[in-house]
Structure 1
């Protein structure tokens, strides 16, 4: 025989609330009748994912009667916001991905047909736990960027550097596929984590292009050096031939000079011998006399 008013939740996306009716009614001496029901609610909440996974979301639940006006039915909270927040945190033991911050209570009025209806609004503020996303996504992407920077110290003579960079680029592509599954498709603007991944992916792509360009320049330089080496080798052979011919002519001229010196030396020796003979001849004549 207890009358329970018709109160709906506007944000609910299901018509069935799966109400678990309580069979017990408490009657206080002030004339207050207490009863409670448990509802399984599925609602739609607009979320701002710009700072994902470090975002804070607020969802509202509006209690309103579909038929009773404000002069017929007033909806008031049973407790204040602080007590409701504390009791909800105690009841909400396994918070999972979300952490309950606060529950605020406010009053409102609706005018669907020009007649006011009383509203009671509960605003639930929750914060996402970012540790899991940091470990499985943000840190690996940062490590890939560090490895890409460290790859500049790899020798560019072989193809290991380019293959290593391409492997890192493919790894970032796989992580971007994971990000697509993490983010809801209803995001109205680009999250910061998406911009973070795009910037790192762009830097690694530029790094791969830089490696390809450097390998191209090194290949062109090796070709130029080989051509210059061939030209220098031919020029060196020609100069060796010229030097050999010049050395032969120098050897011939040195032999001619040596022959001339020997002839002059022999003439000088004969002249000295003849001069000594002329000096000795008067001396012998004196001794004979």
Structure 2
């Protein structure tokens, strides 16, 4: 499945808000290395280089398309110094930031582990794509250096009408022969309390919480546009052009019923689950 950085960035400001809410809870002073695990197109990763101006900042993602976009981001003269919620039209250059502190690597979350200098690990809206991610957490926490921070945010979207409708439609008689094996399991994330216990069991000082953002989306069929950048992508990748158009037409009709437009735009409540852990320094 290929990812579209431009589609993902259509709602950049909405996607950025949970990231900044998450990172604000990380109280690291001078980390040696900061990792953004599942970095996507890199605009948010670049802000980490500004937050920690002497740290090496590494974004990792399994999508070659996302990494290519992220490397263009890092090549910008003002990488890490612009508003991540306002994507730029010109991202034509490829390379690294002038100081060489911000770089991006192609890699798989499942095979990743913190290095001894990974003092801050941030993963924002990525672990939901790894159904077994909770089984990976204890090993990551153990490998985290003393004094290190681990901050995660996952969308609790399985219960949202947009995602319930998507699954119902994909598993209906008309579409199940093509899509029954395409969607990820109905729920791949836990509640905030579960992640809190996971961190406490590993000896981390931890906090966890949930937030439902009342997002006001502009334009026609904006919820469809939102899910085109994430949950709908595996479906569209599995269908022909004609079938994709037919599926989207049916899906859009049901989304309009679930999320009626107002004169201000379409309100799209979106639940997010957060957890931040700090590994105490050795005594």
Shorter-chain TM band: under 0.3
**Could you state the TM-score of these two structures normalised by the residue count of structure 2?**
0.22
The structure with more radius of gyration: 1
Larger helix percent? 1
| Larger strand percent | 2
